[in-house]
Amino acid sequence: MHKLALAAMLVLSSASAVAETAQELAVKKMIEPRLGQGAKIDSVAKTPYSGLYEVRVGSDILYTDEKAKYLFIGRILDTQTYQDYTKARVDELSKIKFSDLPLASAMKVVKGNGKRVIAVFEDPNCGYCKRFDKTLQEIGNITIYTFLYNILSEDSVTKARDIWCSADRSKAWDNWMLNGKAAAAAAAGCTTPHEKVLALGKKLKVTGTPTIFFTDGTRIPGAIDAQGLEAKLATIK
């Protein structure tokens, strides 16, 4: 009898899962044409809050009801804890596999024991990057991989090339970012990973600099301060 009951529960559970999937597909079919021409929904999933359905379009999260009659644009927060469920979901979706980063295409600096590791996408003409690089001077026991993500101007490409082609890239980078001292012009035959890094940034949806990636796959866009960076690093095991 116990085995029969267990089997029945498994059948019911499976049927429920199928029904829910069918409903998600139905919601997707209803809502997609209502989002405007060219809109493509990547996924629809039922949420645990108030019967809403999560509608994912690229890196954007929207919400709708089971009849796709209403569209909710914004963040869902818990009124008791003020936890931002939407942000947590976006962060989850934007995670990367850190070990897949082509670190040979980045400049490497090791400070102290270097046990804590980050990768940063920066543009040499980015003021917020310069602020963040000054912050990094306060941080010890860290390995920093800097990808030269030249998206602000054509001049960024030139500056990055001169820095990359220097005998001491890290020193040339610090001289420019911290002290405003430009690197010497690169030799004519020197090549850089500019195109590769540009493609990588687009693939990872890096839309601004600096963007910091951590070994747990999460990211922080913007020039976080030393206290915030230390707090984030402390959460990574």
Q: In the prediction, which pLDDT does 169 show? A: 97
Q: What is the mean pLDDT of residues 202-217?
A: 96
Task: Please indicate, yes or no, whether residues 214 and 169 belong to a single structural domain of this protein.
Answer: yes
What letter represents residue 198's amino acid? L
**pLDDT tens digits, 158-179:** 999 999 999 999 999 999 999 9
18: pLDDT strictly greater than 90: no
Q: What is the mean pLDDT of residues 202-228?
A: 95
Task: Please indicate, yes or no, whether residues 71 and 140 belong to a single structural domain of this protein.
Answer: no
How many alpha carbons fall within 13 Å on the CB side of residue 70?
6
Task: Please indicate, yes or no, whether residues 123 and 80 belong to a single structural domain of this protein.
Answer: no
Task: Please indicate, yes or no, whether residues 115 and 43 belong to a single structural domain of this protein.
Answer: no
- Confidence grade of residue 204 (pLDDT, cut at 50, 70, 90): very high
Q: Which domain holds residue 140?
A: 98-234
Q: In the prediction, which pLDDT does 237 show? A: 83
59: pLDDT strictly greater than 80: no
Concatenating the DSSP letter of every residue in 59-87 gives: TEEEEE-TTS--EE-S--B-TTT--BHHH
**pLDDT tens digits, 92-149:** 888 999 999 999 999 999 999 999 999 999 999 999 999 999 999 999 999 999 999 9
Count structural domains, the chain.
2
- Confidence grade of residue 201 (pLDDT, cut at 50, 70, 90): very high
Listed residues 76, 93, 110: the one ending a domain: 93
Q: In the prediction, which pLDDT does 20 show? A: 52
Task: Please indicate, yes or no, whether residues 85 and 115 belong to a single structural domain of this protein.
Answer: no
pLDDT over 70 percentage in the chain: 92
Task: Please indicate, yes or no, whether residues 182 and 111 belong to a single structural domain of this protein.
Answer: yes
Whichever domain contains 147, its CATH number is 3.40.30.10
- Confidence grade of residue 16 (pLDDT, cut at 50, 70, 90): very low
pLDDT over 90 percentage in the chain: 65
Q: What is the mean pLDDT of residues 61-87?
A: 90
40: pLDDT strictly greater than 90: no
Listed residues 45, 77, 93: the one ending a domain: 93
